[in-house]
Structure 1
Amino acid sequence: MKINHRESERHVLAIMVDNEAGILAKIAGLFTARGYNIDSLTVADISNDHAISRITIVTNGPPQVIDQIEAQLERLVPVHKVVDLTAAGPHVERELALVKVKGTGEKRVEALRLADIFRARPVDTTTESFVFEITGPPDKIDSFISLMRELGLVEVGRTGVVGMMRGSEGV
């Protein structure tokens, strides 16, 4: 299948699965088999008895391919539910990042000023560097990182996107 990138859309998929060995590899394999990249992937145990995990995947593709991936995911035995948050309606997305910046003098002052604007908080400080913690939508984190590049960005660690539908209904 030839991909028309103009038709490609970003999708956030929430997948409820049995918490068992190998399920993540099976799910990633579905994307690999179709030649699609996983832009972000998070996994967390969500049940008291540790039996169920929630996997959140951010990917890009034409709607028909996303529909096929969703249908294939639903056919896997350990998968309980698949929800395309993007298609389902209004939802909230957040990500956490740790951003290490080195600098002295004016660059150090500017890094602190920008961190304050972005509501990033220093979680480690030395006389030559900071590690900032920032949470928010991915585009906010991208913007913060871009500005820190000019001031002495050293390292970035990102958790990946987690998403949830707005309102009182659960996935």
Structure 2
Amino acid sequence: MPTTLATDSDAAAIAARAILDTDAEALNALLTAIGPDRDLVDEPDPLGPGWPAWDLETALWALPGIGRTKATKLIARKRPRLYPIWDSVVMGVLGTARAHLNPVREALRADDAALHHRLLKIRAEAGLPEEISALRVFDVIAWMDGKDRGLGQRADQGR
């Protein structure tokens, strides 16, 4: 067991150094290329390779100790209205174990953005500040629902 802890610690140190130092310029360039924060519901086209946020997630995955959830949490911290957090429980609620960007985007856009508007209403009813995005409200509600239903399997491929 101590070997695993040392390995995990080493991986975290390597990833932290890459994010803050050795790969910082390239990662910051991708973050800048994403543009300002905006609502995922407003993205008109399906998202894929070549979209700077997709490429940033891919670059973060390449770092030791950074999996899908950590990579998406890092991006979501910088673009909370735009980037969903990948979590097996949340993806189970959506009925997709592997993909996250387009299924969340499509769910938010369906029926004239009905889900997006409902999330904004929930945020207001809960008395949450506007800084809490509809996407973060979605993450919390979907995760709670999925946990209650026993959803969530480990998967580490696809978007």
Q: How does the TM-score come out when normalised to structure 1?
A: 0.28
- Structure with bigger strand share is 1
Higher helix share: 2
Q: Which has the larger radius of gyration?
A: 1
Instruction: Calculate the TM-score normalised by the size of structure 2.
Output: 0.29
